[in-house]
Amino acid sequence: MEPESLYNLLQLPKETSLPALEELPQGEKKKYMLPTSRKDPRFEELQKVLMEWINAELQAEHIVVRSLEEDLFDGLILHHLFQKLAGTRLEVEDIALTAASQRRKLEMVLEAANRSLQVQEPQVKWSVDTVFSKDLLATLHLLVALAKRFQPGLALPSNVQVEVITMESTRNGLKSEKSVEQLTACSTDTDPPSKDVFDELFKLDPEKVNAVKEAIVTFANQKLEPLGLSVQNLDTQFADGVILLLLIGQLGGFFLHLKEFYLTPSSPAEMLHNVTLALGLLRDEGLLDHPVSPEDIVNKDAKSTLRVLYSLFCKHKLQGDTDRTPRAAPE
């Protein structure tokens, strides 16, 4: 392919430099988004929604993303974002100054993300190479996947598509192929976005919120009674994770070994360890429909605590009622 034909295909001015393409080894491929796709309003809206989402998640850490291409490539922000979303800690260096250490950090973060997303190599639309090279398309695929996994209620613009040119270096020169990549799914009028029940609940009269709390406290105390424990204040007594772990064990019919958690936590770090372990157990059972930050539980956030306990209530209390005597569904 002649250079002039290539530049016409990519709709680029002739003075534009494409060093990455010129250095493309034989047998390798590289994707380029067409400028018309970059200017598409839906594509621009998708970037805006994802940036606002990341900034909201990382607000407490004073992290602000202004460009998905320029700010995420080195793994620093992806590191903080994944830890916040997954409620886990990654053993990677906090500050990576050299390109080699940044790449190594990004690789470890993406490995953890891929495990959490349960994606295999043929399915993955991003890689260390593409994200580190500031490939916007690959970065968007990654962020959309994380949003679907951890924030399914996030209102992403539907049916975002981009046109790409895939260039391949062969013995006979460059070969091109034009295609369309789907970033977000199509939506239908018959499938409106679901509302978060807890956001709606906390908009109601406080008496109704308290009624829900009382029902869950009664349920928890019934299960904790054999251990000689009781809950009086739902908002505060679950902050250290101890009663939450014991309740999960009682409901699941198992006991956690004392070496796995702190029975008498004496620091916020130990409390965070307990709560993170508890949330991991709940995620393994598929009980958390919305992401919950362990920091919010430790900080006694009423909505987050109630969300976690309600997930247990729904599975065990309501299921138990169904197994015994048919009852009307609770309001």
Supply the angle between the helices 76-86 and 136-150 in degrees, to the nearest 10.
Answer: 10
The whole domain housing 72 covers: 28-182
Same domain, 176 and 206: no
Q: Is residue 326 part of a domain?
A: no
d(CA 307, CA 200): 12
pLDDT in tens, 249-269: 998 888 888 888 999 999 988
Neighbours of 96 (CB within 10 A): 18
DSSP assigned state of 314: I
CB-based contacts of 138, cutoff 8 Å, min separation 6: 125, 126, 127, 130, 131
Question: What end-to-end distance do the CA atoms of the chain give, in Å?
Answer: 67
pTM, full prediction: 0.54
Same domain, 207 and 311: yes
Same domain, 164 and 58: yes
Q: Please, are residues 211 and 237 in contact by the beta-carbon 8 Å criterion? A: no
Strands (DSSP E) along the chain, which ranges?
29-33, 161-170, 173-182
pLDDT in tens, 155-181: 888 889 888 888 787 777 777 788 888
Q: Is residue 331 part of a domain?
A: no
Same domain, 168 and 288: no
Closest CA to 197 of 212, 207, 183: 212
Q: Name the amino acid, one letter, at 272.
A: L
Average pLDDT, the chain: 80
**In this structure, what token pair is assigned to residue 101?**
């250490």
What CATH number is given to the structural domain containing 105?
1.10.418.10
Same domain, 156 and 48: yes
Same domain, 152 and 206: no
pLDDT in tens, 207-256: 777 888 888 899 999 999 999 999 999 889 999 999 999 999 998 888 88
pLDDT in tens, 51-72: 999 998 888 888 888 899 899 9
Q: Is residue 148 part of a domain?
A: yes
**In this structure, what token pair is assigned to residue 155?**
């209102």
| Number of domains making up the chain | 2
d(CA 245, CA 200): 27
Helix (H) or strand (E) holding 77: helix 76-86
